[in-house]
């Protein structure tokens, strides 16, 4: 049974963990949040209640944006109702679930500017300060329980791009929110997993469990189009199914272009090709080398130094 008080993850074969904070740590984090909020308020930072007004002022949101957002939101809710009700073809339900996925992505993109600006509000900065303090305390080595950041928050603030810290921050968020990954619990993803339209990582797959895109075309782990040649082997292809080399060039056998009479056109050698050296030039080079060798083999006269 999984430990509800921590989440374990690995990076480069080393096991790390994020644990739940102690009461003392929470109290200190709350104090830091209050101080940060007050400091930002005095400094003139926005409050969240001023966010809509500021977004419109900067032309990052409008009545049209609001209408698009509300329409997408309602379409997602309607899709959730249809999936919960059933009674439609499984193929139709799949398309509905994929459509809901796309609409959620659209909403995330639309709210991007709002999220960025929210982080600059008094509340946003205060919440970040609290989270950062707790996370810096609670990221540990799984085996020993020793803190990853020896000097706590100060170390974390100068190492936020550390890959262990990046992964750990996500794990810590899920731990303290008492929830698993939100995406897994969305109705459309629950449906897609139930009927094996996606794998354990939420990637779309065919009936054999092979990765595909939303249009049913096979892809590899990097998202490149592929064509299976056997149960275990495949080749890369372009969007139209034409074979590609590993470097992305078309995998074809070149034949010469033709002139207007249909005859092959001889091509000039490219600059990268090694030029063919004529025999006279080669002979001249050999003779020059022989002369140099003869000169080097001649004994040089010794110059005597007279004593004075």
Are 173 and 256 in the same domain? no
- Please tell me the total count of domains within the chain: 2
8 A C-beta contact, residue 192 and residue 198: yes
Question: What domain range includes position 37?
Answer: 6-185
218/229 Cα distance (integer angstroms):
12
Boundary residue ending a domain (158, 185, 212): 185
Question: Does some domain include residue 195?
Answer: no
Closest by CA to 37, choosing from 104, 113, 123, 146, is 123
Question: Does some domain include residue 72?
Answer: yes
Question: Does some domain include residue 99?
Answer: yes
Are 23 and 100 in the same domain? yes
Question: Does some domain include residue 193?
Answer: no
Are 181 and 46 in the same domain? yes
Closest by CA to 153, choosing from 11, 4, 31, is 31
Are 168 and 208 in the same domain? no
Boundary residue ending a domain (128, 155, 185): 185
- List strand residue ranges (DSSP E) for the chain, in order: 6-11, 14-19, 139-141, 226-228, 234-236
Closest by CA to 5, choosing from 132, 150, 171, is 171
Are 245 and 148 in the same domain? no
3-state secondary structure of 86: coil
pLDDT at 117: 85
Question: Does some domain include residue 293?
Answer: no
The pLDDT tens digits of the residues spanning 263-273 come to: 999 877 655 55
pLDDT < 50 regions, the chain:
278, 281, 298, 300-308
Are 127 and 75 in the same domain? yes
Are 207 and 167 in the same domain? no
Are 27 and 136 in the same domain? yes
Those residues whose C-beta lies under 8 Å from the C-beta of residue 272, and which sit 6 or more positions away, are: none
pLDDT at 267: 76
Closest by CA to 139, choosing from 176, 191, 95, 96, is 176
Question: Does some domain include residue 289?
Answer: no
Are 149 and 34 in the same domain? yes
Are 59 and 171 in the same domain? yes
Question: Does some domain include residue 38?
Answer: yes
Are 246 and 136 in the same domain? no
What are the tokens at 94?
A: 């799949």
Question: Does some domain include residue 90?
Answer: yes
Are 34 and 118 in the same domain? yes
pLDDT at 234: 92
Boundary residue ending a domain (142, 157, 185): 185
């Amino acid at each position: 049974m999984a430990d509800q008080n921590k989440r374990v993850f690995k990076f480069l074969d080393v096991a790390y963990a994020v644990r739940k904070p102690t009461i003392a740590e929470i109290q200190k984090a709350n104090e830091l949040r209050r101080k940060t909020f007050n400091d930002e308020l005095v400094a003139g930072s926005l409050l969240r209640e001023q966010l809509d007004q500021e977004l419109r002022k900067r032309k990052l949101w409008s009545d049209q944006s609001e209408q698009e957002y509300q329409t997408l939101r309602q379409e997602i809710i309607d899709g959730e109702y249809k999936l919960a009700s059933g009674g439609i073809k499984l193929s139709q339900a799949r398309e509905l679930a994929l459509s809901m996925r796309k609409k959620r992505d659209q909403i995330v993109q639309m709210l991007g500017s709002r999220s960025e600006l929210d982080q600059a509000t008094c509340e946003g900065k205060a919440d970040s300060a609290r989270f950062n303090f707790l996370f810096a305390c609670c990221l540990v080595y799984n085996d020993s329980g020793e803190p990853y950041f020896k000097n706590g928050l100060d170390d974390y603030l100068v190492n936020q791009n550390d890959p262990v810290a990046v992964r750990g921050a996500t794990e810590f968020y899920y731990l303290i929110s008492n929830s698993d990954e939100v995406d897994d619990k969305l109705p459309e993803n629950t449906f897609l997993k139930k009927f094996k339209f996606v794998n354990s990582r939420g990637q779309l797959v065919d009936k054999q469990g092979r990765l595909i895109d939303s249009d049913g075309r096979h892809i590899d782990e990097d998202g490149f189009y592929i064509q299976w040649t056997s149960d275990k082997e495949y080749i890369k292809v372009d969007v139209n199914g034409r074979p590609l080399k590993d470097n992305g060039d078309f995998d074809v056998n070149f034949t010469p272009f033709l002139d207007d009479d249909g005859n092959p056109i001889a091509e000039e050698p490219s600059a990268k090709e090694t030029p063919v050296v004529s025999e006279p030039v080669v002979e001249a080079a050999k003779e020059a080398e022989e002369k140099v060798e003869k000169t080097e083999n001649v004994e040089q006269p010794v110059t005597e130094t007279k004593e004075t």
